Amino acid sequence: MVNVIGLGYIGLPTALMLAAHGVEVVGTDYNASLVETLCAGKTTFQEKGLDELFAEAVKKGVRFTTEYQVTDTYIISVPTPYDKFSKKIDAGFVVRAAEAVLKVCPDGATIVVESTVSPGTMDKFVRPVVEKSGKKLHLVHAPERIIPGNMVYELLHNNRTIGADDRATGEKIQKLYSSFCQGEIVVTDIRTAEMTKVVENTFRAVNIAFANELAKICRHDGMDVYEIIRICNMHPRVNVLQPGPGVGGHCISVDPWFLVGDYPELANVIRESMKTNDAMPAFVLERIDEIMRQNGMTDISRVGLYGLTYKENVDDCRESPTLQLLECQRKHLAQPLKVYDPWVQCDLVPNQYHDLDKFLADVDLVVIMVGHSEIREQMQKLNGKIVFDTRNVSDLPGVYHL
């Protein structure tokens, strides 16, 4: 039996996928209300294909509890934030999950950590806890790689990395994941697995920062950044990503800081890239100001932000560019802008709307912060509005860009 610890964005789909493929699974989370929701047959976030996967896993007997199980295999999937000052990883959640497992697990069990960790974290924070317990256990790092918005497909098809101390343990866990994973599963050592995951997300962060910097350069001299990137990407060895209003989510906006925190003298390109991405919400605010002036607008209460989530067609708002922008406004004691997002049902910020038409009726300038399918499919509703499209999703004439 596999005990999956942490039933959030990664742990839940992983537990369900294993169970749907015939593995006996118990999911454990210390959040009792989350467990209650799952036990009542409901998923806890929206994700393409998740409800169907949930139904299949329940049929196969997956269980959810707040109790840690006595078994031979544990998968830990808990958050790894970074300390805002030192920029170093905060391994507290992983360590506490490991300590909880250690209280119940038998000798010889394997603890797999899926949470993204900076190179050396397993040795520095997790191994000492295991050694202190006196139990003989196997440690594995098997970083998740699935992208929110396409998690179920990617769980099935992505290649994976397993980092283990010895080949036999690596192959045992490789076999477990191959119960559902159709991609290649590479077995390597723990530190290599730790580093590859952080490098993958850092690569993306640096590439997005490059696109964001290009957007600013092009804005400065009236060039069309999207057309320039489109043409550049026709080169066989060039693949520039897209500029945007900032970088959010719990991965790309977090993980690269681990390298800056651990290697402050060496991680220069990475640090500057993160700063570039973090400066985008303020740049969007400057553009809003500029566009208002160009249109003779003076009333900030007639400006609305479309989108609160960190990217399109997900309900996750963690570190979202819109939240970053509102925070930036708050620091300047400005009146918070109106906001609407079809994916966010709860009231998260002031001046939040839950109805697109009501939102549009109350604003003259619409800033597209997220390119949800909803707005792509109803772009004509923005006819007659001043539109500032930070995601390049609108085909309306006269739209403003970054």
Interface with ligand SAJ by CB under 6 A: which residues? 116, 144-148, 200-201, 204, 208, 241-242, 244, 247-249, 251-252, 310-311
Buried b (16+ CB within 10 A) or exposed e, 235-246: eeeeebbebbbb
What span, in angstroms and rounded, lies between the C-alpha atoms of 39 and 36?
5
Look at residue 296 and give its three-state secondary structure: coil
Six-digit token string for 8: 């959030």
CA quadruple 199, 200, 205, 211: dihedral positive or negative?
Answer: positive
> Min. distance of Cβ 378 from ligand SAJ in angstroms?
20
Matching residue, tokens 């890239």: 273
The count of other CB atoms within 10 Å of the CB of residue 26 is 20
Q: What is the DSSP string of 72-102?
A: SEEEE-----B-TTT--B--HHHHHHHHHHH
- We find the least distance from the C-beta atom of residue 207 to ligand SAJ, in angstroms, to be 7
Question: 3-state class of 162 per DSSP?
Answer: strand
Which listed residue (251, 311, 317, 338) is catalytic? Answer: 251
Nearer to ligand SAJ, 44 or 169 (CB): 44
CB atoms within 10 A of CB 64: 21
Active site residue 218: no
Q: How far is the CB of 352 from ligand SAJ (least distance, A)?
A: 19
Residues 6+ apart with CB under 8 A from 297: 291, 303, 364, 365, 386
Tell me the closest approach of the beta carbon of residue 281 to ligand SAJ, in angstroms: 11
**Beta carbons of 249 and 149 less than 8 angstroms apart:** no
The identity of residue 69, as a single letter, is Q
CB of 250 to ligand SAJ, least distance (A): 7
Q: Which of 363, 384, 387, 361 is nearest to 376 (CA)?
A: 387
Nearer to ligand SAJ, 23 or 251 (CB): 251
Among residues 102 and 305, whose Cβ is nearest to ligand SAJ?
305
Question: Whole-number minimum distance, CB 18 to ligand SAJ, in Å?
Answer: 17
Selected catalytic residue, list 87, 172, 197, 338: 197
Active site residue 328: no
Minimum distance between the CB of residue 168 and ligand SAJ, rounded to whole angstroms? 27
154: tokens are 């990617």
Long-range CB contacts (within 8 A, 24+) of 346-354:
348/308, 348/317, 348/323, 349/308, 349/323, 352/308, 353/304
In the complex, least distance from residue 301 CB atom to ligand SAJ, rounded to whole angstroms: 27
Beta pairing, strands 63-65 & 352-353: unpaired
For ligand SAJ, the closer CB: 246 or 304: 246
Helix (H, G, I), strand (E, B) or coil at 180: coil
As to burial, measured by CB atoms within 10 angstroms (0-12 exposed, 13-18 middle, 19+ buried), residue 121 is buried
300-303-304-305 Cα dihedral, nearest 10 degrees: -90
Residues annotated catalytic, as ranges: 197, 251
